[in-house]
Amino acid sequence: ALLPAGDKRVIPAGLNCTHCEMAGKKTVQFATSQSFLMNPFPRHFELVLVGSVLADATADVGPEASTEYSWFDGRSHRAMVCCGCGEHVGWSYTGRDGDKFFGLYLRVSKFWAFACLGLLLAFCFYQMLSPAGSAPA
């Protein structure tokens, strides 16, 4: 079930929040972008929070839960994948008391990732085509 707007457990850290209505419920849609400093191919995420997911539909993967870089204060997070296809679908957020909610993707934009890759390729071609890998004098 969608977490309602104003849920006291949700304390966003550095996220853009938009109040909206989904499936007949008032909720909050969150958006953020990764930093070039954290990921050389950053992405923009839009997500919505839910209180539960179907048993055996998703699994937490990756390193142990961490509060480092968490988008919600006081919550440790882990990546979550679909058990059917293995694709990354969001994150689980766990409080110190064991209370848990989930952030599911609505949309993921890779524009900056493609822009960075394009610049990197252009630089490589420039280096390959110039004599001795340097700009002409």
pTM of the model: 0.67
What is the percent of the chain with per-residue pLDDT over 90, rounded to a whole number?
Answer: 14
Tokens matching residue 87: 């694709």
**23-32 pLDDT tens trace:** 777 778 777 7
Rounded mean pLDDT of the chain? Answer: 80
Residue bearing the bigger pLDDT, 41 or 55:
55
Label each residue of the chain as H, E or C.
Answer: CECCCCCCCCCECCCEEEEEEECCEEEEEEEEECCCCCCCCCCEEEEEEECCCCCCCEEEEEEEEECCCCCECCEEEEEEEECCCCCEEEEEEEECCCCEEEEEEEEEECHHHHHHHHHHHHHHHHHHHCHHHCCCC
**76-124 pLDDT tens trace:** 999 899 999 998 888 899 999 989 999 888 776 666 667 777 888 888 8
